[in-house]
Amino acid sequence: MFWKKDINYVIIVLGLIFMSNQFRHKTSSGKRKRDDWKGKVWGSNIFSVLLIIILVISFVKVGKEIRLRYEIKKEINTLQVQLEDLEDKTAKVDKLISYLKTDEYIEKQARIELNLSKPGERQVNLSNIGKVDNKNLANNQEPNIEKWFNYFFD
């Protein structure tokens, strides 16, 4: 994983802090080990503060990496859902295309659009049956009660 490197930095800094605290403690002879320059650096408060700052920065960096990884996973999941939807749509379009290429569809469209028929068939045009003649309705302006009277008694 990409954030393991950052965790290693944190572990190293924690080790350095632990080692710094060991130098601060007295040695077996009762003297502090500050005689040489290494002992002075390891035992100084400034070095400990510097190590703690590095530790905090490392924790912040690891936190950012973990958040970034979470956001990337979330985006991958949304993209996978979109991919599945697009694959479904593609399958439907492919199915429609294959139907449109069939002889059944071509024959159906030829009958509907071009009014073609097979040899031996007769066509019946029913397109004018459902239409009402508006001229008769417009000329007939009788009141409704007269229409009913004429209907029953004429």
Identity of the amino acid at 107: E
* Predicted confidence (pLDDT) at residue 113 exceeds the cutoff of 60: yes
pLDDT at 31 > cutoff 60: no
CA 53 centroid distance within chain: 39
CB contact at 8 A, 45 and 3: no
With bands split at pLDDT 50, 70 and 90, how would you rate the model's confidence at 20? low
Instruction: Give buried/exposed letters for 101-128 (b at 16+ CB in 10 A, else e).
Output: eeeeeeeeeeeeeeeeeeeeeeeeeeee
More confident residue, 111 or 140: 111
Q: Which pLDDT score is estimated for 26?
A: 47
Helical residues (DSSP H) of the chain, grouped into ranges: 4-24, 37-43, 45-100, 103-114, 134-139, 144-153
Nearest-angstrom CA–CA distance, 55 and 61: 10
